[in-house]
Structure 1
């Protein structure tokens, strides 16, 4: 059984934060079970409540306080993947933070990772969605903690943990401060991405490419403010993990029509589409596709090619890609 019947096309998502995908009802329920006071992070309708990006980070971290055990993350993984599968997602790469999974202790991290993988296996069998993990230091926690996170990533690198990224406050420190962590991950065979070009501007994108030597950029949309950089990204084949709904919800752009994703694509940049932290931004992959269709007249054929290109940019192994390409062909036929 799959959830493909819920949408017109099969989708590939490369930029999803696991904790950020937690439905508000899931977090509220877990807080009640554990009798944890997570403060006033919900509005009167029960949705997450924040004022700007930095307040969003505060609310995000408050919500993670109820995720205290491997079993909590097992339940979280099932809840998040169920929502993704309903939008026709057949493959997703989720950012996982050892900061929230055992405090960056490698032994504890392995226990959390085992629970997440168990849930992912269940979801794949029941919902037809495949999950892979990208370990993600939190930038505003600092370079020293990022090193510990990178060691967790290196110790569990393989066919399931496929990459290293970095998230958090783009205005905290410099990406070059995290070069050791990315070198460590690269030596362990992990692929590399980094959040940049959202709040840090074009220079942060250039730094991610030059200082961390990443092949993908999370967001990266403000590269459009420097057309020479856009040309460089296109020439090097750097992939942008674009999250239009997230950018609009956080006030980076006033609407999808004003979002630069279409212009970036027309200038030869390899783009993908993702939801980032979907319940926080009242979005799904289905809604992202619908909004992009309305804004730019992207049609079914375009979205079919987008899914294939996104899968080509995924960090999973060749056998997994081959299997998923067959699924895309069948779904889009």
Structure 2
């Protein structure tokens, strides 16, 4: 199986439905409303997806719960050939933004990640995210949690949630805190907010990666800027098509962006919600755009170069990408 790197994965959003159902049963919580007849997650549109996501997350109430979640997610990712992944994790969901509680959650997640690496050969790094629709004031203690726990495991800082809530610049204070602490920066933009949201995030938050970013295709000048500045896009084609950002795989701009010199990568976002896997993403990209081993190798190199990890980790992952002798 082709070794893969994933840079855009929400930890709770990657929770298998069976895992959340089991957790709800253990805690006597009725979450039947968030599942469809086939047992998958059920929602009407993006905003309803956010509410279903938060309902699923509601049964994860302890560090041990998050350790179990991390183990389940990494086992599934490793089964798809992923050798390195970065997951968005929010102290909002892990202790309510309290630094002491966050440390306990983070310790449990980190230990589970270490066990998964030993068992499955997959390396996890954490990208800490405030939730955009919770507001910029709420982002400040989340940035504090990130800054106080930066290290080998906590390496990035981003912004997730409803992209239409406020503007990137509203969160500049939190991003400045994270930058000063040495965290690498990304931001969701250009999924729903148009090309302008990408331009705003790059200008106002000074990020080096953009989560999604695909609506940049609407602005040729912005596309040129992204290519010139080396901004990497964390593209999630299956997610975009499933949610209707683009009407079909053929209409997705990932190949046009790549042809224009933009550094694109491939991720699954919230895979069980969008009925995808990294294997399916690769299959659909090959089928739709004729991507071959050379193109996938280029995209994987982009991901490795843009990964929020130290040089030793990067070198270790690079060895895993080398073809077998």
Contact 1:20/1:280 (8 A) holds in 2: yes
- Structure 1 stretches of 4+ moved >2 Å: none
For residues 103 and 196 of structure 1, the distance between their equivalents in structure 2, rounded to whole angstroms, comes to 25
Contact 2:45/2:243 (8 A) holds in 1: yes
- Quick one: which of 172, 193, 208 aligns to 2:165? 172
SS of 1:241's partner is strand
Contact 2:9/2:86 (8 A) holds in 1: yes
Q: Aligned-pair distance for 1:39?
A: 5.0
- Quick one: which of 278, 283, 286 aligns to 2:279? 286
1:262 corresponds to 2:255: yes
Q: Deviations over 1:191-233 (max 9, x none)?
A: 0000000001111001100000000000000000011110011
Contact 2:6/2:266 (8 A) holds in 1: yes
1:249 corresponds to 2:236: no
For residues 121 and 213 of structure 1, the distance between their equivalents in structure 2, rounded to whole angstroms, comes to 31
Aligned equivalent of 2:150: 157
- Quick one: which of 22, 33, 39 aligns to 2:15? 22
Aligned equivalent of 2:310: 317
SS of 2:125's partner is strand
Aligned equivalent of 1:38: 31
Superposition pairs of residues 1-333 of structure 1, within 5 angstroms: 7=1, 9-38=2-31, 40-331=33-324
The two structures have a TM-score, normalised by structure 2, of 0.99
Contact 1:308/1:328 (8 A) holds in 2: no
Contact 2:232/2:302 (8 A) holds in 1: no
Structure 2, unpaired ranges of 5+? none
For residues 245 and 302 of structure 1, the distance between their equivalents in structure 2, rounded to whole angstroms, comes to 18
SS of 2:161's partner is coil
Contact 1:217/1:239 (8 A) holds in 2: yes
Q: Aligned-pair distance for 1:268?
A: 0.5
Q: Cα gap change, 1:147/1:39 in structure 2, threshold over 3 Å: closer, same or farther?
A: farther
For residues 196 and 34 of structure 1, the distance between their equivalents in structure 2, rounded to whole angstroms, comes to 36
Aligned equivalent of 1:4: none
The two structures have a TM-score, normalised by structure 1, of 0.96
Structure 1, unpaired ranges of 5+? 1-6
For residues 298 and 167 of structure 2, the distance between their equivalents in structure 1, rounded to whole angstroms, comes to 35
SS of 1:40's partner is helix
Contact 1:101/1:112 (8 A) holds in 2: yes
Q: Aligned-pair distance for 1:305?
A: 2.4
For residues 167 and 289 of structure 2, the distance between their equivalents in structure 1, rounded to whole angstroms, comes to 35
Contact 1:38/1:65 (8 A) holds in 2: no
For residues 116 and 295 of structure 2, the distance between their equivalents in structure 1, rounded to whole angstroms, comes to 28
Q: Deviations over 1:6-35 (max 9, x none)?
A: x2x100000000000000000000000001
